[in-house]
Amino acid sequence: MNQFKTVALLGLLSGLLVAIGYGLGGSGGALIGLIIAAATNLFSWYSSDKIALAAYRAQPLTPQQAPELYAMVERLCQRANLPMPRLYVVPTPGANAFATGRDPNHAAVAVTQGIVKLLPPDELEAVIAHELSHIKNRDTLTQAVAATIAGAISYLAQVMQFGMMFGGGRNREANPLGVLLAIFLAPLAATVIQMAISRTREFEADAGAARLTNHPRALARALQRLEGSARQAPIAANPAFAPLLIINTIQRQAFSNLFSTHPSTEARIQNLLRLEQELGLSA
């Protein structure tokens, strides 16, 4: 169900990009929207890992620096039938982790210094399993594509706004009211859709981690600890890459369900406990 929802949301996001392109220049603008969508997806496919790692100032981690972590990741990769990803450490006391890369053969997993110190081994293993599930499901590519399409929509909306302000780029095929709605509502709608995609992938990765470790409760405990840590020591980075993190670092406010990159921790924990019962595992 989550896979179907993700595909539908990505289709809706791409359709929104084409629609705003049509508002910018009629049929020709729609074609421009399609070209931009293809170009941004291709760029994301090749560069998502480098951009994300640079955004968090992640540094390569060698087996000599973290032998226990390397052994843990290798064990989980063998169990999940995945190639070994590159490992990175983010120099921050905030406790978090993320995965990135265009496919399992070009993947990377980054952990913060804070998460390694905070979590006991079984909970850290559950977090790593969550990130490997993202890699196996190619969520890192999905989220990067969603982010770049949403960014392209915002850019085109700004182009339309400047065009109206200076009287240029008028399109006789376009409805003026539709153009106004595209300028102000399309970026908002794109953000809402992008966040919805991120939330569906988090639920799927949680379930994948629970099955990979056969210990859903370990991830549930880790999420509780990480949420408490995120409030005390949030990670400062580009909000565009917040969906990559295992736990949301932005405080929830009004309409948080619409604009949150992650489901609520309570909902994720309840989902994991239900899965524990379905798998017939003891507490």
Tens of pLDDT, residue by residue over 105-143, are 999 999 999 999 999 999 999 999 999 999 998 886 676
Residue 54 has a CB neighbour count (10 Å cut-off) of: 12
What value does the mean pLDDT take over residues 64-73?
96
pLDDT confidence tier of residue 96, bands split at 50, 70 and 90: very high
Give the long-range contacts of residues 257-260, CB within 8 A, separation 24 or more.
258/192, 258/195, 259/191, 259/192, 259/195, 260/195, 260/199
Q: What is the mean pLDDT of residues 227-240?
A: 77
Tokens of 135: 């890699």
Residue 55 has a pLDDT of 87
- In this structure, is residue 174 part of a structural domain? yes
Whether residue 159 is contained in a domain is answered as yes
Question: Which two three-digit tokens encode residue 166?
Answer: 């200076």
Number of domains composing the chain: 1
Q: Give pLDDT, residue 25.
A: 54
Q: Are 174 and 26 in contact (CB under 8 A)?
A: yes
Tokens of 91: 């120099």
Average pLDDT, integer, range 152-163: 64
Residue 254 has pLDDT above 50, yes or no: no
In the predicted structure, residue 1 carries a pLDDT above the cut 50: no
**Position with higher pLDDT, 217 vs 43:** 217
Confidence band (pLDDT; 50, 70, 90) for 203?
very high
Average pLDDT along the chain: 78
Among 123, 91, 88, 81, residue whose Cα is nearest residue 247: 123
pLDDT band at 235 (very low <50, low <70, confident <90, very high): confident
Residue 256, token pair as written in the block = 């948080």
Confidence tier at 22 by pLDDT (50, 70, 90): low
Tell me what the mean pLDDT of segment 258-270 comes to: 84
What three-state secondary structure class fits 108?
strand
Dist CA 130 CA 270 (whole Å):
16
User: What residue has token string 């995965």?
Assistant: 99
Number of residues that make up the chain: 283
Q: Does residue 283 lie within any of the structural domains?
A: no
Task: Tell me which of 123, 131, 202, 227 is the catalytic residue.
Answer: 131
* For residues 49-54, average pLDDT: 86
131 is catalytic: yes
DSSP assigned state of 97:
E
- Domain hosting 191: range is 2-278
Kindly give the residue spans of alpha helices, DSSP state H, lying in the chain.
Answer: 2-55, 67-80, 113-118, 121-136, 139-165, 176-213, 216-232, 256-259, 265-278
Specify if 173 maps to a domain.
yes
Q: Which of 68, 26, 6 is nearest to 193 (CA)?
A: 6
Q: What is the pLDDT of residue 17?
A: 63
- Band the pLDDT of 224: cuts 50, 70, 90: very high
238-243 mean pLDDT: 72
